[in-house]
């Protein structure tokens, strides 16, 4: 018997299957991890198939050394998924397998699966009394252990391994091996009470299973009770003996969902996301693999949960950009999910209050089953959105961050003891130029997207075709020379607020102020507990949290998202405004939203302020059709990066010329094909070049095939290459 093995090595150039002999008596299956001789060393690998014969002469084959685990890591469905992802996303075997198996499994760390647990030795009070008072760390550790033991790894991180060992050596504490599953966020299970589904919810669940379509798009306004629909559908799936995956954009930011699921499904739920500790991650993965858990809930990587017979996958907030992995390995969660459920005859549910244009178009075309829930459970309407024209503020002599309307409303809310959220847009890293007088923004003549200002060259650049324009100093529309770039920071907003409202407590939440999920939850917790009146933050505060006392939401710089150099900027801004508005007036108090803009008549704001998604969709979809952007085309981007610039250029050039020759024979398939420096020209000492093309939907697979062939031919050592379909964020 021959084992076909993928060797798990870092070298990006090796993506081959190697054959090994399966020694007599070794019980080896496809999907098992193995140890095999490779070059001079033994290396870990994955057996992806067992076959009867090999192309290689038997005399040259070496035997598999060991089967590493007593169980199969990668089930047959996942092996099929690996093949799909290789083709679809141009990934290497090893890249896919790394997504499927938690990091702790690799590198021979499996022996540590039993973890060392540290606790106090009973009756060691005398020895504790002997600890000198200057040994602060040791005393702190003792105090901690008196409240209960913990894992060595946790304690060592907190107190230092030397401190732990000192207590063990003194006979005060003892280390024992424990193989227990720890439950992430164990505190989150109480609360959530069962509700009786409404007719809308029942109808939605029926529709998911009654349709002959694999994918359902659940278009339900904020507060329409989508979570209950997901849970009912999952319950039904489990009742049929199948399993389910529930995906949310950022699990650590939505503890509410987890709480609901724990309350309803208890131990059957496993949680998978990258914020967990390595040990926790392994435990949850293992519970899913062994069938102990049959629901996996998590952020995008949970789509690779090692479940068999997946009958249902849910993507909540399906429009969220985080479902597309933009760094290696790159993949699109929705496509992976659809492939998985198609294999098993299951269902995929995409849920959103503001579906992506692509998904809604797919529903209009009839590729997806459309389910609409347009009533809120509470029976209330959405809070009114008032548009504030910031150029009028300028004319009136107010060049501040805050409009007079906003200041007035803030004063009112604060004096009534209510809370205020102020929202700053942060998307991407590039800035655009804008006339502060009339709101004019320079756009690319070829692509109709806002140009990005590159400060180094002092030029305006289009990220889709590479066209360069001179920076404008005078507005071509109104003649004003009040052209501005750049963004306002949360810090500045806070300090200005503090000046205006000296006695008011203000909290700030952005990527810089919160590096850990705990810090994030702490700040939100403090705000919810009314320890502050104002919360200033970036889109991080837009996610689904309930703050019953927030009655005013201010969007300070809505335009920043609107003119981000991205054809999806209108869509993203619409989504954001709707989501942020959902934070105002959640409970029994009336809420209000003030949206500050220099382009008050822009269609995005017109539709968003009326919560008119269908109207927005019709307009935006038509624009895409006319300009030939997705869903009416596919954007393909091939990114080359290398520490040696010449290498990156040479490789880009060869592939570009090959593609040009191909395009000459398939003229009708291509709208655009360009090679250029990547928007971010250098990251971590790597020079970056890209080929960007826009092709017809029908030709997508053929073009991708051609790219793969060219890459196989021209890819050189020292250059890493990624090919992406419809990149979310071109940097
Ligand atoms: P969405 O995700 O669509 O914005 P949620 O799922 O968060 O909405 O539901 C909004 C609120 O309505 C939640 O507080 C939820 O507990 C409540 N809810 C949902 N379904 C019901 C129901 N059938 N009966 C009573 N309350 C419900
Ligand atoms: Zn102007
Ligand atoms: Zn352009």
pLDDT of residue 459: 83
Q: How far apart are CA 306 and CA 294, in angstroms?
A: 10
Pocket test for ligand 1, best of 377, 543, 579, 586 (most atoms within 8 A of CB): 377
Q: How far apart are CA 363 and CA 614, in angstroms?
A: 12
The Å distance, Cα 71 to ligand 3 centre, comes to: 52
| Ligand 1, atom nearest to 197 Cα | 23
Q: How far apart are CA 623 and CA 259, in angstroms?
A: 41
Asked if residue 552 has pLDDT above 90, the reply is: yes
The Å distance, Cα 228 to ligand 1 centre, comes to: 7
Q: Are domains 199-373 and 385-430+487-624 of this chain identical in fold?
A: yes
The Å distance, Cα 201 to ligand 1 centre, comes to: 10
pLDDT tens figures, 278-333: 777 888 899 999 999 999 999 899 999 999 999 999 999 999 988 988 777 788 99
Superfamily of domain 199-373: P-loop containing nucleotide triphosphate hydrolases (3.40.50.300)
Asked if residue 131 has pLDDT above 50, the reply is: yes
Query: Rounded mean pLDDT of 480-496?
Result: 78
Asked if residue 708 has pLDDT above 50, the reply is: yes
DSSP character at residue 466? -
Residue 353: pLDDT band (50, 70, 90) is very high
Q: Which ligand is nearest to the CA of 671?
A: 3
Ranked by mean pLDDT, which of 17-31, 455-469, 670-684 comes out on top? 17-31
Contact in structure between 482 and 437 (CB atoms under 8 Å): yes
Pocket test for ligand 1, best of 219, 228, 263 (most atoms within 8 A of CB): 228
Q: How far apart are CA 407 and CA 501, in angstroms?
A: 10
Which CB contacts under 8 angstroms, 24+ apart, belong to 135-138? 135/166, 137/163, 138/163, 138/166, 138/167
The C-alpha angle with vertex 274 and arms to 537 and 280, in degrees rounded to 5, equals 125
Identify the CA nearest to 118 among candidates 160, 142, 151. Answer: 151
The ranges assigned to domains in the chain are 2-108, 113-180, 199-373, 385-430+487-624, 432-486, 634-725
**Tokens, residue 487:** 């963004």
The Å distance, Cα 576 to ligand 1 centre, comes to: 21
Kind of pairing between the strands at 634-642 and 592-597: unpaired
Task: Work out the number of other CB atoms within 10 angstroms of the CB of residue 600.
Answer: 18
Which CB contacts under 8 angstroms, 24+ apart, belong to 342-345? 342/214, 343/77, 343/80, 343/81, 344/77, 344/242, 344/309, 344/310, 344/311
Q: Which ligand is nearest to the CA of 231?
A: 1
DSSP 614-647: HHHHHHHHHHHHHHT-TTSSEEEEEEEEESSHHH
**Tokens, residue 399:** 């060049």
Ranked by mean pLDDT, which of 162-166, 419-423, 560-564 comes out on top? 419-423
pLDDT of residue 523: 86
Q: Of the given ranges (125-134, 176-185, 343-352), which has the lowest mean pLDDT?
A: 176-185
Its sign, for the CA torsion 400, 404, 406, 409, is positive
**Tokens, residue 48:** 């992806």
pLDDT tens figures, 620-678: 999 999 888 888 998 899 999 999 999 999 999 999 999 999 999 999 999 888 999 88
Closest residue (by CA) to atom 24 of ligand 1? 195
Fold of 2-108: GIY-YIG endonuclease (3.40.1440)
Closest residue (by CA) to atom 23 of ligand 1? 197
Q: How far apart are CA 41 and CA 397, in angstroms?
A: 73
Q: Which ligand is nearest to the CA of 565?
A: 3
The Å distance, Cα 615 to ligand 3 centre, comes to: 27
pLDDT tens figures, 218-234: 999 988 999 999 999 99
Which residues does ligand 1 sit against, CB inside 6 Å?
195-198, 201, 220, 222-228, 377
The Å distance, Cα 451 to ligand 3 centre, comes to: 8
**Tokens, residue 674:** 């360009």
pLDDT of residue 614: 95
Identify the CA nearest to 720 among candidates 677, 690, 696, 675. Answer: 690
| Distances from the Cα of 453 to the Cα of 328, 471, 490, 637, angstroms | 27, 8, 21, 21
The Å distance, Cα 172 to ligand 1 centre, comes to: 51
pLDDT of residue 111: 41
Closest residue (by CA) to atom 15 of ligand 1? 225
DSSP 688-723: EEEEEEEE-GGGHHHHHHHHHHHHHHH--TTEEEEE
3-class SS at 354? coil
Query: Rounded mean pLDDT of 139-146?
Result: 88
**Tokens, residue 393:** 């503020």
pLDDT of residue 112: 41
Identify the CA nearest to 389 among candidates 578, 599, 574, 555. Answer: 599
Asked if residue 701 has pLDDT above 60, the reply is: yes
Contact in structure between 64 and 37 (CB atoms under 8 Å): no
Is 69 exposed, middle or buried, given 0-12, 13-18 or 19+ CB atoms closer than 10 A? Answer: middle
Asked if residue 428 has pLDDT above 50, the reply is: no
pLDDT of residue 150: 79
| Distances from the Cα of 221 to the Cα of 453, 502, 592, 611, angstroms | 36, 38, 17, 9
Contact in structure between 113 and 179 (CB atoms under 8 Å): yes
pLDDT of residue 110: 43
Identify each DSSP E strand in 334-435 by its residue range.
347-352, 369-373, 385-389, 419-423, 434-435
**Tokens, residue 129:** 């009394």
Closest residue (by CA) to atom 18 of ligand 1? 225
Asked if residue 190 has pLDDT above 60, the reply is: no
Q: Which ligand is nearest to the CA of 548?
A: 1
Share above pLDDT 70 across residues of the chain, in percent, rounded to a whole number: 90
Q: How far apart are CA 247 and CA 302, in angstroms?
A: 7
- Give me the architecture of the 385-430+487-624 domain, per CATH: 3-Layer(aba) Sandwich (3.40)
Q: Across the chain, what does the average pLDDT equal?
A: 86
Share above pLDDT 90 across residues of the chain, in percent, rounded to a whole number: 43
The Å distance, Cα 239 to ligand 1 centre, comes to: 23
Asked if residue 486 has pLDDT above 70, the reply is: no
Query: Rounded mean pLDDT of 416-429?
Result: 80
The Å distance, Cα 438 to ligand 2 centre, comes to: 4
DSSP 223-250: TS-HHHHHHHHHHHHHHTT-EEEEE-S-
Identify the CA nearest to 665 among candidates 631, 699, 714, 635. Answer: 699
The Å distance, Cα 612 to ligand 2 centre, comes to: 29
pTM exceeds 0.85, yes or no: no
Which phi and psi angles does 219 have, rounded to 5°?
-95, 100
Residue 432: pLDDT band (50, 70, 90) is confident
Q: Which ligand is nearest to the CA of 436?
A: 2
Closest residue (by CA) to atom 2 of ligand 1? 226
Q: How far apart are CA 699 and CA 670, in angstroms?
A: 9
pLDDT of residue 521: 76
Residue 608: pLDDT band (50, 70, 90) is very high
Asked if residue 706 has pLDDT above 80, the reply is: yes
Q: Which ligand is nearest to the CA of 391?
A: 2
Contact in structure between 294 and 243 (CB atoms under 8 Å): yes
Which CB contacts under 8 angstroms, 24+ apart, belong to 38-43? 38/7, 38/9, 43/7, 43/8, 43/9
Q: How far apart are CA 400 and CA 397, in angstroms?
A: 9
Residue, of 105 and 81, whose pLDDT is higher: 81
Query: Rounded mean pLDDT of 77-106?
Result: 88
Pocket test for ligand 1, best of 200, 225, 316 (most atoms within 8 A of CB): 225
**If you search the block for the tokens 């906003």, which residue do you land on?**
406
Where does 634-725 sit in CATH, by number? 3.30.70.1440
């Amino acid at each position: 018997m021959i084992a076909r093995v993928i060797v798990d090595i870092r070298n990006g150039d090796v993506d081959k299957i190697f054959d090994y002999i399966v020694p007599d008596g070794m019980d080896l299956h496809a999907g098992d991890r193995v140890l095999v001789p490779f070059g001079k060393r033994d290396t870990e690998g994955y057996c992806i198939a067992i076959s009867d014969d090999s192309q290689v002469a038997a005399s040259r084959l070496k035997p598999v050394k060991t089967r590493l685990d007593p169980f199969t890591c990668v089930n047959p469905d996942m092996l099929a998924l690996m093949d799909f992802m290789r083709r679809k996303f141009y990934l290497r075997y090893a890249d896919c397998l790394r997504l499927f198996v938690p990091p702790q499994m690799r590198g021979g760390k499996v022996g540590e699966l039993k973890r060392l647990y540290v606790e106090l030795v009973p009756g060691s009070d005398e020895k504790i009394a002997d600890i000198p008072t200057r040994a602060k760390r040791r005393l702190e550790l003792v105090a901690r252990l008196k409240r209960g033991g913990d894992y060595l790894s946790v304690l060592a991180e907190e107190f230092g391994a030397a401190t732990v060992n000192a207590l063990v050596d003194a006979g005060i504490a003892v280390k024992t091996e424990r193989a227990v599953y720890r439950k992430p966020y164990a505190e989150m299970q109480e609360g959530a009470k069962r509700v009786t589904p409404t007719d809308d919810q029942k109808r939605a669940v029926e529709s998911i299973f009654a349709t002959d379509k694999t994918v359902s798009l659940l278009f339900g306004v904020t507060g329409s009770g989508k979570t209950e629909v997901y849970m009912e559908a999952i319950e039904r799936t489990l009742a049929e003996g199948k399993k389910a995956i529930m995906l949310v954009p950022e699990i650590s930011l939505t503890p509410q969902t987890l709480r609901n699921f724990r309350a309803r499904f208890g131990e059957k739920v496993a949680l998978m996301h990258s914020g967990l500790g390595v040990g926790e991650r392994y435990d949850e993965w293992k519970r899913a693999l062994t069938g102990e858990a049959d629901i996996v809930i998590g952020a995008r990587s949970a789509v690779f949960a090692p479940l068999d017979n997946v009958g249902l996958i849910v993507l909540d907030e399906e429009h969220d950009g985080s479902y597309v992995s933009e760094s290696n390995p790159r993949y699109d969660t929705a496509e992976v999910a659809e492939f998985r459920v198609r294999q098993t005859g299951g269902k995929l549910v995409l849920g959103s209050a503001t579906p992506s244009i692509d998904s809604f178009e797919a529903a209009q075309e009839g590729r997806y089953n459309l389910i609409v829930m347009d009533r809120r459970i509470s029976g209330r309407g959405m809070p009114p959105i008032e548009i504030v024209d910031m150029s009028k503020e300028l004319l009136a002599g107010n060049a501040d961050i805050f409009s007079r309307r906003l200041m007035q409303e803030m004063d009112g809310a604060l004096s009534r003891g209510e809370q205020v959220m102020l929202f700053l847009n942060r998307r991407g890293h590039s800035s655009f130029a804008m006339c502060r007088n009339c709101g004019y923004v320079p756009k690319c003549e070829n692509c109709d997207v806002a140009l990005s200002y590159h400060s180094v060259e002092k030029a305006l650049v289009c990220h889709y075709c590479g066209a360069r324009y001179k920076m404008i100093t005078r507005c071509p529309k109104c003649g004003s020379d009040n052209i501005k770039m750049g963004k306002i920071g949360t810090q500045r907003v806070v300090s200005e607020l503090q000046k205006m409202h000296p006695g008011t407590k203000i909290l700030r939440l952005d990527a810089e102020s919160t590096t850990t999920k705990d810090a994030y939850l702490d700040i939100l917790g403090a705000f919810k507990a009314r320890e502050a009146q104002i919360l200033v933050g970036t889109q991080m505060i837009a996610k689904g949290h309930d703050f019953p006392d927030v009655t005013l939401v201010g969007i300070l710089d809505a335009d920043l998202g609107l003119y981000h150099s991205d054809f999806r900027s209108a869509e993203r801004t619409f989504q954001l405004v709707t989501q942020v508005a959902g934070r105002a007036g959640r409970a029994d108090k009336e809420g209000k939203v003030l949206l500050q803009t220099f382009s008050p008549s822009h269609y995005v704001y017109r539709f968003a302020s009326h919560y008119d998604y269908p109207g927005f969709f019709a307009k935006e979809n038509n624009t895409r059709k006319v300009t030939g952007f997705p869903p009416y085309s596919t954007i393909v981007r091939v990114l080359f990066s290398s520490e040696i610039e010449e290498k990156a250029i040479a490789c880009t050039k060869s592939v570009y010329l090959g593609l040009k020759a191909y395009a000459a024979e398939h003229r009708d398939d291509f709208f655009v094909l360009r090679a250029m420096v990547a928007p971010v020209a250098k990251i971590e000492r790597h020079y970056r070049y890209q080929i960007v093309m826009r092709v017809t939907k029908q030709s997508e697979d053929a073009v991708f095939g051609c790219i793969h062939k060219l890459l196989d031919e021209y890819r050189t050592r020292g250059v890493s290459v990624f090919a992406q379909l419809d990149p979310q964020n071109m940097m």
